[in-house]
Structures are given as structure tokens and as C-alpha cells.
Structure 1
Amino acid sequence: MSQEYRTGREGEEFTYRGHTLEELQEMELEDVAELLPARKRRSIVRGLDEEQQKLLEKAREKDEQETANSPIRTHLRDMPVLPEFVGLTFAVYSGQEFGRVRVEPEMIGHYLGEFQLTRNSVEHGQAGIGATRSSKFVPLK
């Protein structure tokens, strides 16, 4: 990859548990699983399901093609972010729409769904006339 990934500190290269991004990308999936948190490690050790395997294959093909114009669409919010995904763009389904998620090195060890929110924040306006029982008796002028 031609991009240079850095941490928040000035001049430091990204590392994940003592390994650089290049080292992580060259590792086998089982070796990467040893570095991940327990829940993600368990899902990889037990075996990714059929849909997750397909998504992993799509990501590997997309990495070879190097076309970042169209994101990889997926409903798999429970897919762990692997080092192979860094630099790719996914369209993760939120329940209503597909939101773009560009995978950065800091996302390794999380789920794809953590970066596409499913709930919107609600901003209520002022209560109008008739909105509550007490507002019936508010004088208009």
C-alpha cells in the first residue's frame, strides 16, 4: 500500500499489539486471530460462517483490483475488521440504508457494525398548542 498510516502521536507508525500494519497483513488469519480480543478471536477460531467467508473473498478480490470507487456492500455488521480490510471501503447496512465505512488501521479488532450507527439522535421541538393537557390553558397572547 502506498498510504502511510500513523497513530495520533506525531511521527509514529501504526502498530497493533506490537506488530506493524505490514506484518499484520502478511500474517495468516489464525495468527491474526491470536492478537484479537476474545470474542473476535473465538468467532475466527470456530470458523467464519458462509456469508463472512464470501465477504472475506470479496475483500481479497477488491484488494487485488485496487478500485476504491465502489464500496463492498454488506449486511454483516458482526464481521470483525481484519488487517486485510485496511484501506477498503464498505457499505454497511444500518437497517434503513447502506452507510460508507472506510477502514482505517485503528479499526482492527472491532466489528464493522460499530462504525455504522443504527439509531438517529432525536431533537424535539417546542410543544405546540394541544401537545399536553396543561397547554390547553396557555393564553395565546
Structure 2
Amino acid sequence: MVKKFEYRGMPLTELEGLSLENLFKLFNSRQRRSLTRGITDGKRKLIEEIKAAKAGKSKNAIKTHVRDLIVLPYMVGVTVNVFSGKEFRPVTIIPEMIGHYLGEYVITNKRVTHGAPGVGASRSSLYVPLK
């Protein structure tokens, strides 16, 4: 049996039809606060690009540095390349991402792999002959 997606008891088709005010009531307080404080120019430009890609008007890949944009229902199905601090990583927006930030899906750090210790790395290495 295939599990149907629901966000707080509402299917995706109903979420897409909701007005922003009614949608805000479903979000957590952190997301509500972020959205009600306004949308900056960078976020507005990204939202317009996502709408154009969803409508099929844009053929270019969407690249962005905006990591603090909250995923809304109409963004589902679009692939956005989000900057990780080093490179752009593709993120395909799925229904389970609604209400989360874009930056949550692109990690900004990587695992540290240390090499062998060099001369002077510890007290005992001071007395190792160099020849």
C-alpha cells in the first residue's frame, strides 16, 4: 500500500489551493515568523524563478545562495541548485520538505580526515632524528 502524503492532515492538492494566510496557520511559529516578516529581494527573485520553472517557461538550472527560504507547496517538483559554501548541490523538492528551509538539505561542512603527524606535532617527535 502506497503512503499518501499529508501535511498536518491536508493532501498536497489542498495545500496548493490554500491562501498564504491559511497556509501560515499550519506552519510552526519559526516558519510563520520568518514568512510574516517579509520576503527579501533575493528570495523574491528565487520564488519567481521557481514559478517560471514549474510553468515550463525556464529551461536554465536554478542556482541560488538563498538557504533560508522556506519550502512552500507550489515549489514541489522543482530542482534547485543550492550553494554549500564550495559548490552548488542539486536539491529536488519533494512534498515532505514543505515547511523546512532549503539549507537543511545541503550540508556546509565535510568530514575531517587528518594526515600523519609531522615533525613537532607532539613532544615525543621532537627527539626523533631527521636522518
**TM-score (normalizing by structure 1):** 0.80
The answer to whether residue 56 in structure 2 is matched with residue 62 in structure 1 is: no
Out of 96, 101, 105, the position equivalent to 2:86 is: 96
Shift of 1:91: 0.8
The answer to whether residue 42 in structure 2 is matched with residue 13 in structure 1 is: no
Give a deviation string over 1:66-86, Cα, whole Å, max 9, x none. 77x743111111100111111
Aligned length: 130
Give a deviation string over 1:51-100, Cα, whole Å, max 9, x none. 21221111111100077x74311111110011111111111112221111
Counterpart of 1:114 in structure 2 is 104
Q: Report if the CA contact (8 A) 1:92-1:113 is conserved.
A: yes
Structure 1: tracts of 5 or more residues without a match: 1-9
What letter is aligned with 1:75? H
Out of 111, 119, 123, the position equivalent to 2:113 is: 123
Counterpart of 1:35 in structure 2 is 26
Q: Report if the CA contact (8 A) 1:78-1:112 is conserved.
A: yes
**C-alpha RMSD over aligned residues:** 2.2
Q: SS of the counterpart of 1:11? A: coil
After the TM superposition, which segments of 4 or more aligned residues of structure 1 sit over 3 Å from their partners?
128-131, 136-140
Bigger relative contact order, structure 1 or 2 (CA pairs below 8 A, ≥6 apart): 2
Structure 2: tracts of 5 or more residues without a match: none
**TM-score (normalizing by structure 2):** 0.85
Out of 120, 125, 129, the position equivalent to 1:135 is: 125
User: After the TM superposition, which of the residue ranges 75-84 and 129-138 deviates more from structure 2?
Assistant: 129-138
Q: Report if the CA contact (8 A) 1:30-1:45 is conserved.
A: no
